[in-house]
Structure 1
């Protein structure tokens, strides 16, 4: 039995980490129906994870106290409590467990440093970055040493580490924390049941968009740390050569869309109610992925203006964009180029507005290239969630073999 422990930030799949966890579990349980997924839930709140057979444990909602005292440390306590709750559930069946797979850093540190060794269970930690680099990390000055300790225990005492990128894998070796053979690269993925090549004109007709206007699109659950203001500023520059440019920004939280709406107005964009030729910025609230894909299929160019992380950058949208085949504009980051070769994308130096503007303009100006579009879709086929689940199970089998 494989035990999968996660702490998704949304039980209704309103965050990227929740989507990744849900779809990975869906494919794991297809291949290993005995996978036991442990997910916290507050009361009887709605949860999509029931669909993939997850077991919900009561969420020890200590973090809610941050409304009274704002500190990430309260969430660290909450995750600690949850780690011990999972151990209490697993302990009676520990001899049935092949490995515990954890993708939450505090739970991983407790399982790797204490719980796994005490119960005699191998622990695999899926690391998405160092906690010391987490934008939501504890900010108290005295907690800096604690953050390093959390990272060191989770990354050095686990039986194996799963990394989203080879760039992060190499960092762990450089730090002397892991041998390269103990770190397995398992990138993010896309849901092949939703994202596939579509007909651009049919998508535009469905959405009521002009057949000939150039369209640049971006989709993401949240806009924070993704430099959407830079993307909008670059698109404003492009209106000199593409006066009828349409920019589609899909997703984001209410206050993020409102801030971009004001910026778009100040830059002279209409909101869709103006006549063609004046430039439009469409801000689409969060929608199910099956609806968002139509907006992406309608676009000429798909953009990734920036990523939250650097050496662990493996955004879901990268794989979703690849599956659609359109030209992609993205920053020069080794982690991204591990997936997309330079000749199959339009790149720019990170946070370089002139470079982003140039990349977008070049992508719009080039004639459609069916060979490159096909090459992007071929890359995507290696990064379905089914392939991701198989890579995870290969790590489990490797660890099981090593533990004998």
Structure 2
């Protein structure tokens, strides 16, 4: 039995974190139906995780107290309480457990440093970055040492580590925290049931977009730290040479879209929230993934202006973009080029506006169908089924060592 412990930020899949957790679990349970997935839930909150057979434990909602005292430390307490709850659930089953697989740093630290050794169970930590570099980390000065303790415990004392990128694997070796042989690279993935090449003309007709316009598209759950203001500036500049250019941005919270609309208007762009109106930039609210793929399929070029992380950068959108085969513009970050090599992408120096404009212009000029086919072939190695197979292989390797 594999025990899979996660703390998704949305039970209705309204975040990339939740989507990745849900679709990984769906594929994992298809391969290993005995997987025990433990997920928190507040009260009777609706949850899509029932669909993948997850067991919901009561969420110890200590973090809700942050409305009175704003501190991430309250969420650390919440995650710690949930870690203890999962240990109580797993303990009676420990003789049937091959490994405990965890993708949340606080819970991983408790299991790697305490519950795992106490129960005699190997712990695998899927690290998405150092907690000490998390933009949402505890900001209190005295907490810096605590953050380092979390990272060291989770990463150094876990039986094995799953890294999203080879770049992070190298970093752990450079700082002396892990032998590379104990770190498996398991990148993110895309949902092959949804993302596939689209008929551009049909997508545009469905959405009411001009059939002959040049369209640059971006899709994301949230806009924080993604440098979308830079993308707007690049679109405005490119309209001098591409007068029929349209920007299509999908997702984000209402406040984020409002701020982006204000910035776009200051750049002289006409903005609309629906494709029923003529505009230079469409800011569309979030929609189900089946709607996302139709929006992306209407584009000529797909773009990732920036990522939240660097050595662990493995955004879901990169894999989804690749599956469509369209030209992709992205910052020149080694972790991204591990997945999509430079000759199949249009790269630019990170946060360099001139470089972004040049990369977008080059991508708009692409007419080689062999490049689209090569991206799709690469994407096929990163379906969620392939991801589940990599996780199972790591679990079996750890269990055999045990």
Map residues 5-404 of structure 1 onto 2, 5 A cutoff: 5-272=5-272, 280-366=280-366, 368-403=367-402
CA drift of 1:154 comes to 0.2
- Displacement of 1:365 in angstroms is 2.4
Report if the CA contact (8 A) 2:274-2:282 is conserved.
no
Q: Report the CA distance between 1:265 and its aligned residue.
A: 1.5
Residues 1:356 and 1:91: Cα distance change in structure 2 (over 3 Å)? same
Cα distance between partner residues in 2 of 1:213 and 1:241: 13
SS at match of 1:250: strand
Q: Which runs of 5+ in 1 are unaligned?
A: none
Post-superposition CA distance 1:293-347 (Å, at most 9, x none): 1010010000000000000000000000000000000000000000111010000
Deviations 1:173-220 (A, max 9, x none): 111111010000000000000000011111111111111110000000
How far apart, CA to CA, are the structure 1 residues paired with 2:274 and 2:311?
Answer: 42
CA–CA distance in 1 between the matches of 2:320 and 2:50?
25
SS at match of 2:37: strand
Q: CA deviation at 1:356?
A: 0.4
CA distance in 2, matches of 1:243, 1:365: 15
SS at match of 2:382: coil
User: Which segment is superposed worse, 322-331 or 88-97?
Assistant: 88-97
Query: Where does structure 1 differ by over 3 angstroms across 4 or more consecutive aligned residues?
Result: 272-276
Cα offsets for 1:104-135 (capped at 9, x unmatched): 00000000000000000000000000001000
Q: TM-score, normalised by structure 2?
A: 0.98
> Aligned-pair distance for 1:280?
1.2
Does the Cα contact within 8 Å between 1:329 and 1:346 map onto a contact in 2?
yes
CA contact (8 A) 1:11 1:47 kept: yes
Between stretches 261-270 and 44-53, larger displacement belongs to 261-270
How far apart are the structure 2 equivalents of 1:326 and 1:73? 42
Deviations 1:73-123 (A, max 9, x none): 000000000000000011111111110000000000000000000000000
CA RMSD in angstroms, aligned pairs only = 1.3
When normalised by structure 1's length, the TM-score is 0.98
Give, in whole Å, the separation in 2 of the partners of 1:319 and 1:273. 26
| Change beyond 3 A, Cα 1:274–1:338 | closer
* Structure 2 CA distance for partners of 1:356 and 1:30, relative to 1, 3 Å: same
Deviations 1:135-188 (A, max 9, x none): 000000000000000000000000000000000000001111110100000000
Deviation at 1:273, TM superposition (A): 9.3
Per-residue deviation, 1:274: 11
Contact 1:274 1:280 in 2 (8 A): no
Q: How many residues align?
A: 401
Q: Distance in 1 between matches of 2:311 and 2:133?
A: 11
Distance 2:266 2:181 in 1: 53
1:214-248 CA-partner distances (Å, limit 9, x unpaired): 00000000000010111111111101011121100
Q: Distance in 1 between matches of 2:6 and 2:273?
A: 43
Measured in 2, the distance between the counterparts of 1:275 and 1:268 equals 19
Give, in whole Å, the separation in 2 of the partners of 1:378 and 1:8: 30
